[in-house]
Structure 1
């Protein structure tokens, strides 16, 4: 049986389109400060619970801060001692994440990158564990919103990673089938989402928190960053 050509690409956002260390490590420190009500000792505990070394800023692959959605992160912080309800902390984190767009650092010129893929006829989407507002603000800030056929955050109604719902939503929005889609991301939540949906290709990138070792089992290709993508499509 001949495999269908890839016609759609669904990207993760953080660690994939945005450099994770440059964009999110400072946000994680602020997240912990908020969750700890500025208690420095508790903030360190919360960062460690989220998978981040409070001294080095290193975030473990597939940890809560690397791959969790806002509700999951808030839940983990509350369990680790944050003096808030999950709903309160989720609202605070969603606001922080939306504001953090102003400080995000892209992996490449995203407007030019998406324009090139769009010109080649690919249908394009972003599926993130962040909220939908933050995704749209990111696309607007970096000039690629007009090239997107689909946007899904954890709060968009398609379910959460690593469930297949965001991929299936992309297919419904674009008229494609999963075997025409490539999923691109920096952690195993992205790869497992793609595999569970039956996509044609899962592509891991190393601009986030994952490593070649952590991503090898669930990815068909592992690239330094998205600038190498067209070579494998």
Structure 2
């Protein structure tokens, strides 16, 4: 293995609760804007994974990609609400106040991997602004050789094209790349891009039973050092 790609939220840092706040706000806004088209609101909330004002693990709003959320909104509203959902989501993301709580020991792990000669990258559904805030707060920019964020209308995980910034600019074969993440989407990205190794961590929103495409399931990203050095 030559490259290690990390998801950010739920992998390098504990899952950022601000994302849950955004998700809940997006759902509430959708319910208000399209209230005339939505029949059973309680059923609609449940379909999206929101029960008693909380997003439930393993649901669309917890770990689904934006296009999956948008499709669910369209199904519930009985019409195409894509433009509204994408626009409202981007506004909420741009105004997000992030919470960056590092997984214990992750800085030492990144230092070890860097010292051992691995190239590293971030592949996140967060925006460029959110990643820049994260790197500024943590001072981790020197660890990462590539940073891939997700802007409006861009491809998202698990679309393998999300990794084009890596494969277009660096001479590396997919089988020499490790994907480390906390969701089934992260693991599916590894499958779709034919990456050499897929490691799921349990520090985020993903449930262990969802990681059917993972080669390894570990407690934290710190456990990958032993795995890739085998």
Secondary structure of the structure 2 residue equivalent to 1:165: helix
Report what 1:118 is aligned to.
114
User: Of residues 46, 56, 59 in structure 2, which corresponds to 1:58?
Assistant: 56
What TM-score results when the alignment is normalised by the length of structure 2?
A: 0.78
The structural deviation recorded for 1:124 is: 1.2
Residues 118-197 of structure 1 correspond to what in structure 2 (within 5 A)?
118-155=114-151, 159-197=155-193
Q: Is the 8 A contact 2:13 2:100 kept in 1?
A: yes
Secondary structure of the structure 1 residue equivalent to 2:199: strand
Secondary structure of the structure 2 residue equivalent to 1:222: strand
Matched, 1:229 2:224: yes
Q: C-alpha distance in 1, partners of 2:176/2:114?
A: 16
Secondary structure of the structure 2 residue equivalent to 1:173: coil
> Gaps spanning 5+ residues in structure 1: where?
1-5
User: Of residues 24, 27, 31 in structure 2, which corresponds to 1:32?
Assistant: 27
CA deviation map 1:5-45 (0-9, x unaligned): x1111112232223237453333323323333499998865
What TM-score results when the alignment is normalised by the length of structure 1?
A: 0.77
CA gap 1:112/1:74 in 2 versus in 1, 3 angstroms: farther
Matched, 1:12 2:7: yes
Matched, 1:214 2:215: no
Q: Is the 8 A contact 1:205 1:222 kept in 2?
A: yes
Count of aligned residue pairs for this structure pair: 225
Report what 1:102 is aligned to.
98
The structural deviation recorded for 1:96 is: 2.0
The structural deviation recorded for 1:154 is: 3.6
User: Of residues 27, 49, 55 in structure 1, which corresponds to 2:47?
Assistant: 49
Give the aligned CA root-mean-square deviation in angstroms: 3.3
The structural deviation recorded for 1:75 is: 4.3
The structural deviation recorded for 1:180 is: 1.1
